[in-house]
A and B are shown apart, each in its own frame.
Chain A
Amino acid sequence: NVESEPHDEL
């Protein structure tokens, strides 16, 4: 599963 995660880097 490739559920996109929130981007935690700036």
Chain B
Amino acid sequence: MNIFRFAGDMTHLISILVLLLKIYATKSCSGISLKTQELYALVFLTRYLDLFTDFISVYNTIMKLVFIASSLAIVWCMRMHRVVRRSYDKEIDTFRHYFLILASFLLAVLVHEKFTFQEIFWAFSIYLEALAILPQLVLLQRSGNVDNLTGQYVFFLGAYRAFYILNWIYRYFTEQHFSRWIACLSGIVQTALYADFFYYYFISWKNNAKLQLPA
């Protein structure tokens, strides 16, 4: 494992901690898209089917379990928690995420590394993760104002993707064998989706002002 991959995993972990902190400290999930959170839960559940078949390292196994557990916990909180669920912006979180699931599944059936149950679900999870942030970005754009923790959550999530790209570039030059093109192409698409958000995030940071997205 190289430093970029580790930094990517850590910023991913931080983004989840920031989100949990926001929900726990403010007892509110305003500004957070339940659609995106449900998609992430589905992404981790379908990607980590290999928990039962392949062992990579203790680190990998623990991280997989953390990602599955935290994404399920967040969905549970937003749907079931008596107080938290009241702050959910249901009216503006209307992105039809089922289409993303359908499109990702069709693409996975057509484009995969190997025609096996596990490989098709792995490809599905990669495609779905690339698109999963869309409901969240649309919700932020609709609500206009972005609170601090929500802004940081999306920022760390984007940083995680950027580090993964650096990781692939590094691996490309240090390892002879390179066969992760599905993950790389999807990862580039995924990171590109954050470009707009990053732009406004850095402007607000530079001006020391509250993050606002144009309507």
Write the residues of chain A forming the contact surface with B, with a CB cutoff of 8 angstroms. 2, 4-10
Instruction: Provide the B98-119 mask, 1 if CB < 8 A to any CB of A, else 0.
Output: 0000000000000001100001
What is the chain A residue whose CB lies nearest that of B167? Answer: A9
Q: How far is the CA of A3 from the CA of B122 in the complex (A)?
A: 16
Cα of A7 to Cα of B179 in the assembled complex, Å = 10
Q: How many inter-chain contacts with C-beta < 8 Å in the A-B complex?
A: 29
Q: How many residues of B contact A (CB 8 A)?
A: 20
Minimum distance in angstroms from A5 CB to a CB of chain B:
7
Residues of chain B at the chain A interface (Cβ within 8 Å): 5, 9, 12, 47, 50, 54, 56, 60, 63-64, 67, 113-114, 119, 122, 164, 167, 179-180, 183
Partner of B64, one of A2, A4, A6, A10: A10
Give me 6 A-to-B residue pairs in the complex whose CB atoms sit less than 8 angstroms apart, sorted by A's number.
A2-B113, A7-B180, A7-B183, A8-B56, A9-B164, A10-B9
B179 and A9 form a contact (CB under 8 A): no
The main secondary structure of chain A at its interface with chain B is: loop
Q: A4-B113, A4-B114 are in contact. Are A9 and B63 (CB under 8 A)?
A: no
Q: Given A8-B56, A10-B60, list of 5 further CB < 8 A pairs?
A: A6-B54, A7-B183, A9-B164, A9-B180, A10-B67
A9 contact set on B, CB distance < 8 A: 5, 164, 167, 180, 183
Residues of B within 8 A of A5 (CB): 179
Contact across chains for B63 and A10 when beta carbons are under 8 A apart: yes
Report yes or no: B119 in contact with A4, Cβ–Cβ below 8 A: yes
Cβ contacts under 8 Å, B12 to chain A: 10
Contacting residues, chain A, for B56 (C-beta < 8 A): 6, 8
Least distance between B119 CB and chain A CB atoms (Å): 6
Q: Which residue of A lies closest to B56 (CB)?
A: A8
Given the complex, which residues of B lie within 8 Å of A8, measured CB to CB?
56, 60
How close is B124's CB to chain A, nearest CB, in angstroms?
13
